[in-house]
Amino acid sequence: MKDKQQIQQEVEKTLNSLDNIQRAEASPYLFTRVKAALQKEEKSFWTIATGFLSKPVVAIATILITIMINAAVFFNAPSSEAVQNNQNGEQIFASDYDLTATTFYDATVDQQ
């Protein structure tokens, strides 16, 4: 183990090394280079597309068009009579082309 005087000398030497310390300074043109690099941001397709789609006018227009399409589909839905006629037509088509299928289900369960 080192004696107290040797440890004290090492502490003093370490503290004295901090006496001549100065503030770090950057290159005088660093700020302008960083600013120019930020302004030179690349305009890719995705940057332009997200910029366009993030506009409130585009978002509201998209929502309104979606609501209009849904309303048109809802109000032009076939009536129950038309659906029934279509089902009858399908049954007639199936019987004409002998497309009736008979399925047998075996309800017995094998117990082991």
Tell me the per-residue pLDDT of 41-58, one tens digit each, with 9 for 90 and over.
Answer: 777 888 888 888 889 999
Question: How confident is residue 62, by pLDDT bands cut at 50, 70 and 90?
Answer: very high
Question: How confident is residue 25, by pLDDT bands cut at 50, 70 and 90?
Answer: confident
**CB-based contact 59:53 (threshold 8 Å):** yes
Q: What is the pLDDT of residue 69?
A: 95
Q: What is the pLDDT of residue 66?
A: 96
pTM attached to this predicted model: 0.36
The crossing angle, in degrees rounded to 10, of helices 45-53 and 56-75 is: 70
DSSP string over 8-49: HHHHHHHHHHTTT-------TTHHHHHHHHHHT----HHHHH
Q: What is the pLDDT of residue 3?
A: 84
Q: What is the pLDDT of residue 4?
A: 84
Three-class SS state of 81:
helix
User: Could you give the CA distance from residue 7 to residue 71 in angstroms, rounded to a whole number?
Assistant: 86
